[in-house]
Amino acid sequence: MSLIDTYRAYRARPKAIRRTDLASQWQLMWWRFRKHRMAMLGMILLGLFGVCVLFPEPISPYAPFERNSKYVAGAPMMPHFFEADGTFHPRPFVYGVKSERDPVTLKLRHTRDETKIWEIAFFVKGDPYHLFGLIPLDIHLFGTREGFIHLFGTDFTGLDIFSRTIHACRVSLSVGLVGVLVSFVLGAAIGGAAGYFGGQFDNIVMRIIEFIRSIPTLPLWLALAAALPRDWGPLPTYLAVTAILALLGWTWLARTVRSKLLATRHEDFVLAAKLSGCSDSRIIRRHLLPSFMSYLIVDTSIAFPEILLAETSLSFLGLGLREPVESWGVLLYAAQSIRSVDQAPWLMIPGLFVIVAVLAFNFLGDGLRDAADPYSK
Amino acid sequence: MAEARDNVLDVETLSIALRQDDATVPIVEDISFSLARGEVLALVGESGSGKSLTALSLMQLLSKELAITKGRILLHAADGGVTDIVGLGANGRAIEAIRGRRMGMIFQEPMSSFSPIHTIGAQIAEVAMIHEKVTREEARRRAAELLAKVGIPDPVRALDRYPQEFSGGMRQRAMIARALICGPGLLIADEPTTALDVTIQSQILDLMRKLKNELGMAILFITHDLGIVAQMADRVAIMYSGRIVESGPVRDIFRRPVHPYTRALLEAVPRLGDIDRHRKIRPIAGSIPNIFDVPQGCRFHPRCPAAQLPRCAEAPPPRYDAGRHHVSCIHGAEELGR
Amino acid sequence: MITFFARRFAYMVITLLLVSVVSFAIVQSAPGDYAEIYAARKANAGAIISQAEIENVRRQLGLDKPWHIQYGRWIGNIVLHNDWGMSWEWKRPVGEVIWERMPLTLAIAFSTLIFMYVVSIPVGIYSAVHRYSIGDHTVSLLGYIGLATPNFLLALVLMYLSQRYFGQSVGGLFSPAYENAPWSWGKFKDLLAHLAVPVIVLGTGGTAFLIRAMRAAVLDELNKMYVLSAKASGLSPLKLLIRYPVRMALNPIAATLGWRLTYVISGAPIVGFVLALPDTGPLFLHSLLNQDMLLAGAMIFIYCALTIIGTLLSDLLLVALDPRIKLE
């Protein structure tokens, strides 16, 4: 197209040699990625989640199963710097709590007691734990020396929702990670074989993929999860749920691998490499793989939230993971009925973490996709 | 323009610039030309010389980043009325009423110039329906008539076919029909034959010539192919890096090219008998300057074999006229006077 | 043309068969078979059941036969006699239980599809035409959030908000006042208000996805040469937009209609469950939780069949829309 060519010629600034002329493909991707602000935000958020996955015990003020009988179904407590009369505290604090029994329903009601001030302390001693299951420690990132602090409130049994949500990062994100890894291996192997062998085999694989994609996955997931025996322990259930999620998640990746393999196999640059005497292995390593590796990474970052959402939904319904395993979905199970949500809306807070995690992955995926496209500006 | 010719179009000191975040970069500078009724003017240049953008600007079709910064584009109606296209702006009823009715345009890519999901007939008839408020049947009848005129066999059935069922040459014929259905006084053809095979190319050129004689419209023919210019055009304007460096009747330019760039272009064209006469085809050394980094003075001087430094690098060259032959070069006076 | 339809139809039948096998596998997957569950129930009720009696029940029900014969009987009864077996949870025929609730599921699914397209097409076009404007950025941010929010959470939040701020229950289909009232305009409006929540919940993710797809498709088309050439023929911007890029962009959107339907059907059970709608959602989930597998398997089969038929319809629609698709 003459117009568009002309226009492109105008846009391209020739300089002697730009550093982009010499950079490797990965360097270029990184540079483009860095310019994508949302993707960087996604990466930072995922980094924070990573910290939670590694160090949930020191970050949370309480152990996940430590009940606070003085504050059952208590509302989130907000940290403050200023008292109501404007007195400034250099250390943030939370107001104390007074509890009284409702004369009619005889239920315990908690209200804020503005006469009591509980200062937040950092690196305080608290519940003992074993970091990575090995190192015995009792230091927590924050806590209070007197009273207690429940940033996200407590549930109907007095468990601290903040601590439980932080602890649940580990299972929720690892289900996604393991699920994606399994689907990645399955997808790459099946899609690769289909693209490589072609012909009838390819045809059959594509039909199967089409079949799986044309059936509604969530009901099928639910049914498979429901078929798991109830008396299985936490670990087998965890593995089985992950496997079920992965089982139906590989189709996207397989499709991508196959179509990219088929498309690149006949690209001019592959022919050119062949003609200039490259060995098959070199062509695969240096030409084919890099040309669709980036697509695989992008697809993986898109598959991850899908699995995370599926796990959350299953566990929310009580068909996936169950106590004592903790995932965001398991925590949300407590919010299943409108009555409990009405009484303690803060039970929905773990859902916020799900949304943020999925958003972070979507941002990351978008950034990667843009960065991986060698023709993007 | 002072000449008392029966002009269809006068372009006066037209400038186009690219608006970037920080600055505007001039792309086409101070070009002027005119087209008389029934005349064919060829606008010739390398890719990147600004010829296609000039063509687009005549209909206010520039993309958002580009803008006309100076000049007038005067379109003369048959009854003597004059419209300044620049004054109409790029949007609104006024300019829409000009596009397709007073000026038609055909593009280089016949493959992609039609929407693949509408029939050829619908896309041609639509133009008549918009501009002349005729009924669908009337528009279709006229479309079929025009398809017959541009040499498409079985035009009535062709109306209901999709563009992808047509060959490239057929599509370009249909494109011409679409551009001419409202009988515009000016046809702008932006490299209409570049994407076609040589045999098809000459058929299309023949067709355009025939239609011009029949319908009497003027043609602005954008091309980089001097062979086509010799076949088609009455006059030529040579563009280099956003400026017209030489213009005049085809005869004058081909017989006595003055500007070193024009000469270089002509020497780069292979001709029958070259081998017998031991004439060498000489490609032009160097490449067209990038618009972000244009040379001072005469834009051609870094590539020019006859450049006189520092004169050529200091100021834009003066313009010399001899009759209808104009040239912008320091050697213009002596060469034209010869 | 006819061969195309025939092939497409044959393919659908094969897919349906495969789905029925999967559904039957789910029926069979429950730990313990019907006879054991029956025995356990009887035992719970105080009766003493001998092993011989269990075997007897098993033989009566044909549960001692190899699985393919059982499958044959199951699918045969469904196809020939519309007999889906008995739900022991409901103590009624499975078919009856499902068909009572199916119309509502279908109504919600179709309303959701319509909602998704009605919202996403104009918004997507707006976003594409006003690329990088504040409106476009807002739409894409909302879209991101819509895609990231699990349906059940959105349902919970909407229920909580309407309960708290409007004092209205959104669970179920009718307000208590209209529950048993005869049909009237008021009752109809009440029904619509209740339908709005599940439709919004179910449609948000898909709408966000479609807006993105529509925006990308229109942007793609806007840069095509034929848009410029139509503009050069004097079409006004609005007419140009509707006649060419939008019309072109509708094709990929229509092509994904089948997937959208799959998506809606996929999400429907959970939304129905959370919102306590009298549709098939709670039915399906309770059957899974209580291992009423004949009912669950039948539901899976119906859900799958719905999406497969929907996919076929969307393929046919695409053929009608796009002359470029060659029918062989």
Q: Please name every residue paired with C100 in a beta bridge, in sequence order, or none if there are none.
A: none
Nearest CB to C232 within list B61, B118, B164: B61
Helix (H) or strand (E) holding B218: strand B218-223
Half-sphere exposure of C295 (CA within 13 A, CB side): 27
pLDDT at C171: 61
What length is written for chain A?
377
pLDDT at C167: 66
**Chain C neighbors of B162, CB-CB under 8 A:** 323-324
pLDDT at A7: 46
The whole-angstrom separation of Cα C134 and Cα B154 is 52
Number of neighbouring beta carbons within 10 Å of residue C180: 7
Sign of the C-alpha dihedral computed for residues C246, C251, C256 and C260 taken in this order: positive
Interface test with chain C among A5, A7, A38, A214, by most C beta carbons within 10 Å: A214
The whole-angstrom separation of Cα C220 and Cα C223 is 6
Whether the per-residue pLDDT at A22 is higher than 70: the answer is no
Q: Which contacts (CB < 8 Å, 24+ apart) does range C283-289 have?
A: C283/C97, C283/C98, C283/C101, C284/A219, C284/A222, C285/A222, C285/A317, C285/A319, C286/C89, C287/C87, C287/C89, C288/A222, C288/A223, C288/A226, C288/A319, C289/A226, C289/A318, C289/A319
The whole-angstrom separation of Cα C157 and Cα C164 is 10
The verdict on pTM exceeding 0.90 is no
Q: What is the DSSP letter of B284?
A: P
Q: What is the DSSP letter of B292?
A: G
The whole-angstrom separation of Cα C157 and Cα C117 is 24
The whole-angstrom separation of Cα B73 and Cα B272 is 40
> Does A214 contact C308 at a Cβ distance shorter than 8 Å?
yes
Q: Which residues of A touch C (CB under 8 A)?
A: 1, 3, 211, 213-220, 222-224, 226-227, 229, 305, 309, 312-313, 316-319, 332, 335-336, 338, 341-342, 345, 348, 351, 354-356, 358-359, 362-363
Q: Which two tokens stand for residue C65?
A: 């036969």
Chain C contact present for B114, CB below 8 A? yes
Closest Cα partner for C120 from C268, C260, C322?
C260
The verdict on whether omega for the bond into residue B310 sits within 30 degrees of 0, i.e. cis, is yes
Whether the per-residue pLDDT at B292 is higher than 70: the answer is yes
Q: Which residues of C touch B (CB under 8 A)?
A: 224-226, 228-237, 239, 243-244, 247-248, 251, 321-324
Token pair 């008396």 is found at A231
**Chain B neighbors of C224, CB-CB under 8 A:** 112
Chain A's closest residue to B28, CA to CA, is: A10
Q: Nearest C-alpha of chain A: how many angstroms from B211?
A: 25
Q: Is the CB of residue B217 less than 8 Å from the CB of residue B238?
A: no
State the alpha helices, DSSP H only, in C30-93: 34-44, 51-61, 67-81
Whether the per-residue pLDDT at B242 is higher than 80: the answer is yes
The whole-angstrom separation of Cα C60 and Cα A189 is 46
Chain C contact present for B126, CB below 8 A? yes
Q: Can you list the residues of chain C whose pLDDT is less than 50?
A: 328
Whether the per-residue pLDDT at A89 is higher than 80: the answer is no
Interface test with chain A among B47, B54, B191, B224, by most A beta carbons within 10 Å: B47
Whether the per-residue pLDDT at A15 is higher than 50: the answer is no
Chain C's closest residue to B92, CA to CA, is: C236
The whole-angstrom separation of Cα A79 and Cα A120 is 8
Q: Nearest C-alpha of chain C: how many angstroms from A252?
A: 13
**Chain B neighbors of C231, CB-CB under 8 A:** 61, 99
Whether the per-residue pLDDT at B188 is higher than 90: the answer is yes
Closest Cα partner for C118 from C32, C243, C207, C229?
C207
pLDDT tens per residue, range A299-331: 777 778 888 888 888 888 888 888 788 889 888
Q: Nearest C-alpha of chain C: how many angstroms from B171?
A: 12
Q: Nearest C-alpha of chain C: how many angstroms from B118?
A: 8
Query: 3-class SS at B62?
Result: coil
Helix (H) or strand (E) holding B170: helix B168-180
- Please tell me which residue, B212 or B314, carries the higher pLDDT value: B212
> Does B48 contact A3 at a Cβ distance shorter than 8 Å?
no
Number of neighbouring beta carbons within 10 Å of residue C20: 20
**Chain A neighbors of B291, CB-CB under 8 A:** 10
Per CATH, the number for C98-321 is 1.10.3720.10
What length is written for chain C?
328
From A15-29, A78-92, A119-133, C15-29, the region with the lowest mean pLDDT: A15-29
Q: Is the CB of residue B297 less than 8 Å from the CB of residue B314?
A: yes
Q: Please name every residue paired with A305 in a beta bridge, in sequence order, or none if there are none.
A: none
Pairing of strands B186-190, B218-223: parallel
Chain C contact present for B142, CB below 8 A? no
Pairing of strands B319-322, B325-328: antiparallel
When the pLDDT of each residue in chain A is averaged and rounded to a whole number, the result is 78
Interface test with chain B among C133, C218, C228, C233, by most B beta carbons within 10 Å: C233
Q: Where in chain A is the domain with CATH 1.10.3720.10?
A: 164-371
Sign of the C-alpha dihedral computed for residues C223, C226, C229 and C230 taken in this order: negative
CATH class entry, domain A164-371: mainly alpha
> pLDDT grade, residue A14 (50/70/90)?
very low
> Does C233 contact B127 at a Cβ distance shorter than 8 Å?
yes
Q: Is the CB of residue C276 less than 8 Å from the CB of residue C172?
A: yes
Q: Which residues of A touch B (CB under 8 A)?
A: 1-3, 5-7, 9-10, 12-14
| Chain A contact partners (≥3 CB pairs within 8 A) | B, C
Percentage of chain A exceeding pLDDT 70: 87
> pLDDT grade, residue A124 (50/70/90)?
confident
Interface test with chain C among B57, B60, B105, B117, by most C beta carbons within 10 Å: B117
Distant-in-sequence, close-in-space partners of B49: CB < 8 Å, separation ≥ 6: B239, B240, B241, B242, B288
Whether the per-residue pLDDT at B187 is higher than 90: the answer is yes
Q: Which two tokens stand for residue A7?
A: 């226009």
In a 10 Å sphere around its CB, with 0-12 CB exposed, 13-18 middle and 19+ buried, how is residue C288 labelled?
Answer: buried
Q: Which two tokens stand for residue B257?
A: 């090219």
Whether the per-residue pLDDT at A19 is higher than 80: the answer is no
Closest Cα partner for C302 from C142, C125, C76, C95?
C95
> pLDDT grade, residue B3 (50/70/90)?
very low
Nearest CB to A215 within list C145, C274, C304: C304
pLDDT tens per residue, range B104-143: 999 887 778 888 888 999 999 999 998 988 999 999 999 9
pLDDT at C41: 67
pLDDT at A1: 37
pLDDT at C34: 64
**Chain C neighbors of A316, CB-CB under 8 A:** 150, 152, 270
Nearest CB to C15 within list A211, A305, A355: A211
**Chain A neighbors of B50, CB-CB under 8 A:** 6
- Structural domain boundaries in chain B: 4-116+170-240, 256-336
Q: Nearest C-alpha of chain C: how many angstroms from A249?
A: 14
Q: Which two tokens stand for residue B265?
A: 């272009």
pLDDT at C30: 65
Q: What is the DSSP letter of C246?
A: I
The whole-angstrom separation of Cα B264 and Cα B226 is 12
Q: Which of A187-201, A293-307, B203-217, C259-273 has the highest mean pLDDT?
A: B203-217
Distant-in-sequence, close-in-space partners of A249: CB < 8 Å, separation ≥ 6: A179, A180, A183, A303, A306, A307
pLDDT at A13: 44
pLDDT at B219: 94
Closest Cα partner for B236 from B58, B41, B52?
B41
Q: Is the CB of residue A64 less than 8 Å from the CB of residue A375?
A: no
Interface test with chain B among A4, A8, A10, by most B beta carbons within 10 Å: A10
How many CB pairs below 8 A link B and C? 76
Whether the per-residue pLDDT at B60 is higher than 70: the answer is yes
Chain C's closest residue to B95, CA to CA, is: C234
For residue B138, the Cα-to-chain-centroid distance in whole angstroms is: 31
CATH classification of B4-116+170-240, choosing from 3.40.50.2300, 3.40.50.510, 1.10.10.10, 3.40.50.300?
Answer: 3.40.50.300
Distant-in-sequence, close-in-space partners of A89: CB < 8 Å, separation ≥ 6: A80, A81, A82, A83, A117, A119
Chain A's closest residue to C14, CA to CA, is: A211
3-state SS of chain A is CHHHHHHHHHHCCCCCCCHHHHCCHHHHHHHHHHHCHHHHHHHHHHHHHHHHHHCHHHHCCCCCCCECCCCCCCCCCCCEEECCCCCEEEEEEEEEEEEEECCCCCCEEEEEEEEEEEEEEEEEEEEEEEECCCEEEEEEEEEECCCCCCCCCECCCCEEHHHHHHHHHHHHHHHHHHHHHHHHHHHHHHHHHHHHHCHHHHHHHHHHHHHHHHCCHHHHHHHHHHCCCCCCCHHHHHHHHHHHHHHHHHHHHHHHHHHHHHHHHCCHHHHHHHHCCCCHHHHHHHHHHHHHHHHHHHHHHHHHHHHHHHHHHHHHHCCCCCCCCCCHHHHHHHHCCHHHHHHCHHHHHHHHHHHHHHHHHHHHHHHHHHHHCCCCC
**Chain B neighbors of C218, CB-CB under 8 A:** none
Nearest CB to C244 within list B59, B97, B115: B115
> Does A359 contact C148 at a Cβ distance shorter than 8 Å?
yes
For residue C298, the Cα-to-chain-centroid distance in whole angstroms is: 15
When pLDDT is averaged across residues B295-304 and rounded to a whole number, the result is 85
pLDDT at B5: 63
Nearest CB to A2 within list B190, B290, B292: B190
Predicted ipTM? 0.84
**Residue C32, CA distances (Å) to A231, B161, C49 in order:** 14, 64, 16
Whole-number CA gyration radius for chain A: 26
